A = this chain, B = another copy of it.
Amino acid sequence: MSAPAITVFALTGMGEVQPGDDLVALILDTGVELAHGDILVVTSKIVSKAEGRYVQAADREEAITAETVRLVASRTADGHTMRIVENRLGMVAAAAGVDASNTPDGWVLLLPEDPDRSARTLAAGLRAATGAEVGVILSDTLGRPWREGQTDVAIGGGGVRMIADLRGTTDQAGKVLSVTTPCLADELAAASDLVKGKASGNPVAVVRGRPDLVGPLTLPGASSIVRPSERDLFWLGTAEALDQGYRDGYAAALAAVHAHEPHEHEQKDAT
């Protein structure tokens, strides 16, 4: 049996993406020969650029607010407040995913309007142009609790299985793998970051060797990776939750005291 293996390579020479650009053409113009089952991991930033999702940098905080559904946590340092929020896509991300790096001076970039739709459109275009059944993941770089540094994760998916549901399958010892659901899409995004790099300007990588993960464009997108806040144990930052609990507890104690003590105002009113 040959060893399971993948290769991951970056596409070079794509140049700067402009609003209105056709990403299918830009990708194929690099000369890449796509094969059945290839998965293209595309930095979401270039999709945002092609979609013209620019906002003037002076309005950055306003843009973050507009993309925010709910504040999860914030930290103020050096006079600047960093907000971790749940954005309109349900993703929890610093600055709502609004991006100020690798953008022209004076401008910031919003995430693609609908990353899953963008990924499916791109996958459909590449399939039509090449005849190869390929998948597309849009990636973004996110920090995470408890661990230093950032990793690339999937924020859009077209024609790629996002999560492998191994529940019910058995391990080598014959025991059921009860809770194992590897997020393959995030692992594909992470693998691709190892060849794309942040500063190198190679925004597209191809993962070759897992054609079993590629399927119809009707597969769930990366929105299926987002856990709804009501099912999350960390839906609010610790400091924010301590504050909210304190206020609620303080008010509840005053209400309880008030309900049990002789009420001065009522007594006065009664005289």
Contacts from A to B (Cβ < 8 Å): 1, 3-12, 16, 73, 75, 84, 91-92, 100-105, 141, 144-153, 162-164, 166, 169-173, 175, 177-178, 180-184, 186-188, 190-191, 193-202, 207, 209-210, 224-227, 232-239, 241-254, 257
How many angstroms between the C-alpha atoms of A101 and B172 in the bound complex? 9
How many angstroms between the C-alpha atoms of A164 and B225 in the bound complex? 26
How many angstroms between the C-alpha atoms of A147 and B93 in the bound complex? 11
With contact pairs A4-B197, A249-B250, A250-B253 given, residues A186 and B190 touching in the complex (Cβ less than 8 Å): yes
Contact A147–B153 (Cβ < 8 Å): yes
Residue A163 contacts which of B149, B166, B196, B238 (CB distance < 8 angstroms)?
B149
Contact A238–B241 (Cβ < 8 Å): yes
Smallest beta-carbon distance A139→chain B, Å: 11
A197 (CB) vs chain B CBs: closest residue:
B4
Contact B187–A191 (Cβ < 8 Å): yes
Contact B170–A199 (Cβ < 8 Å): yes
A227 (CB) vs chain B CBs: closest residue:
B148
A257 (CB) vs chain B CBs: closest residue:
B257
Smallest beta-carbon distance A187→chain B, Å: 4
